[in-house]
Amino acid sequence: MAKRQSLKELQERLAQRLTAAKSEALTATWLAIEAGGRRYLLPLVQSGEIFPWSTVQAVPYTKSWYVGVANLRGGLHGVIDLADLVQGSARGSMRPAERITSESRLVSLHGALGLNAVLWIDRLLGLRNPGAFSAMGERPAEAPGYVTRVLVDAQGQDWQELDLQLLVSEPEFLAVAA
């Protein structure tokens, strides 16, 4: 009888946790990341898997932000240096191998975007929802079109929201040849 009661309690606790997890997942809107010293928000619906840094095969005669290709889960993905792409040589003259840290990650684009590419980021900062931000900041005039807006959190830090759908439709992004 005691086993039956404890099993029932366990099932109830699991049901409560599942309900709580579902409501949390619905409120999370962005994947918060850092690249080149700046904070970015990637829409969860446009983001794919997160991979640890992997060996990247360099591709000659490409733009500086196109690092190369990596084999991730048996598929070849173009590796994009997000900081270099958005900020333009934000990492200086350092070669990619010198810039890798234990927190470096590759964030894949969602399959619905139709492009086998991953964004190289410096570190993950978690999930964010609209309630984490208190104001709208001013979008930098030099920001590319896929930087849709700037949000300010309670600590006064600016976060740039990136629209990955707009990013993959940019002619510059699709033309990686130098």
CATH of the domain at 59: 2.40.50.180
pLDDT over 90 (residue 19):
no
Task: Output the six-digit token pair for 137.
Answer: 């900041």
- Lowest mean pLDDT across 10-14, 31-35, 41-45, 174-178: 10-14
How many Å apart are CA 29 and CA 1, to the nearest integer? 44
The pTM for the full model equals 0.80
Backbone angles phi and psi of 101, in degrees to 5 = -125, 175
pLDDT of residue 89: 65
Q: What is the pLDDT of residues 62-75, one digit of tens each?
A: 998 999 999 999 99
Domain that residue 80 falls in: 46-174
- Tell me, yes or no, whether 162 lies in a domain: yes
pLDDT of residue 17: 77
- Tell me, yes or no, whether 71 lies in a domain: yes
Residue type, 54: S
- Tell me, yes or no, whether 12 lies in a domain: no
| Average confidence (pLDDT) over 30-54 | 95
- Tell me, yes or no, whether 79 lies in a domain: yes
**Which residues, listed in sequence order, are joined to residue 119 by a DSSP beta bridge?**
80, 107
Structural domains counted in the chain:
1
- Tell me, yes or no, whether 24 lies in a domain: no
- Tell me, yes or no, whether 9 lies in a domain: no
Helix (H) or strand (E) holding 4: helix 2-27
The answer to whether 142 touches 102, Cβ cutoff 8 Å, is no
Task: Output the six-digit token pair for 126.
Answer: 């978690």
- Tell me, yes or no, whether 154 lies in a domain: yes
Contacts of 30 (CB under 8 A, 6+ apart): 41, 42, 43, 44, 127, 128, 129, 161
pLDDT over 60 (residue 1):
no
pLDDT of residue 142: 85
Number of alpha carbons in the 13 Å side-chain half-sphere of residue 66: 18
| Average confidence (pLDDT) over 116-133 | 94
